[in-house]
Amino acid sequence: MIGFPLMQVVHRLSLYACPVSAGFPSPADDYLEGRLDLNQYLIKHPTATFFVRVTGDSMIGAGIHTGDILIVDRALEARDGKVIIAVVNGELLVKRLRIEKKKVYLASENSDYPPLVITDLMDFEMWGVVTTVIHPL
The residues of the shown chain that bind other proteins, judged by CB under 8 A, are 1-4, 7, 45-48, 50-60, 64, 66, 69-70, 74-75, 85, 87-95, 108, 113, 116, 125-127
- Out of 14, 21, 44, 58, the active site residue is 58
- Out of 26, 44, 82, 95, the active site residue is 95
Write out the H or E segment, with its range, that includes residue 93: strand 91-100
Q: Is 95 a catalytic residue?
A: yes
As measured in angstroms, the least distance from the Cβ of 129 to other proteins is: 11
**Between residues 59 and 97, which has the closer beta carbon with respect to other proteins?**
59
Which distant-in-sequence residues (6+ apart) come within 8 Å of 128 by Cβ?
48, 50, 72, 73, 74, 76, 78, 84, 85
Q: Residues of 43-76 as b/e, b for ≥16 C-beta within 10 angstroms?
A: beeeeebeebebeeebbeebebeeebebbbbeeb
The span from the CA of 130 to the CA of 137, in Å, is 20
As measured in angstroms, the least distance from the Cβ of 85 to other proteins is: 6
As measured in angstroms, the least distance from the Cβ of 98 to other proteins is: 16
The span from the CA of 108 to the CA of 93, in Å, is 10
As measured in angstroms, the least distance from the Cβ of 40 to other proteins is: 16
The span from the CA of 42 to the CA of 119, in Å, is 34
**Between residues 61 and 81, which has the closer beta carbon with respect to other proteins?**
61
Determine the 3-state secondary structure of 126 from DSSP: strand
**Between residues 33 and 91, which has the closer beta carbon with respect to other proteins?**
91
**Between residues 99 and 110, which has the closer beta carbon with respect to other proteins?**
110
* Residues noted as catalytic: 58, 95
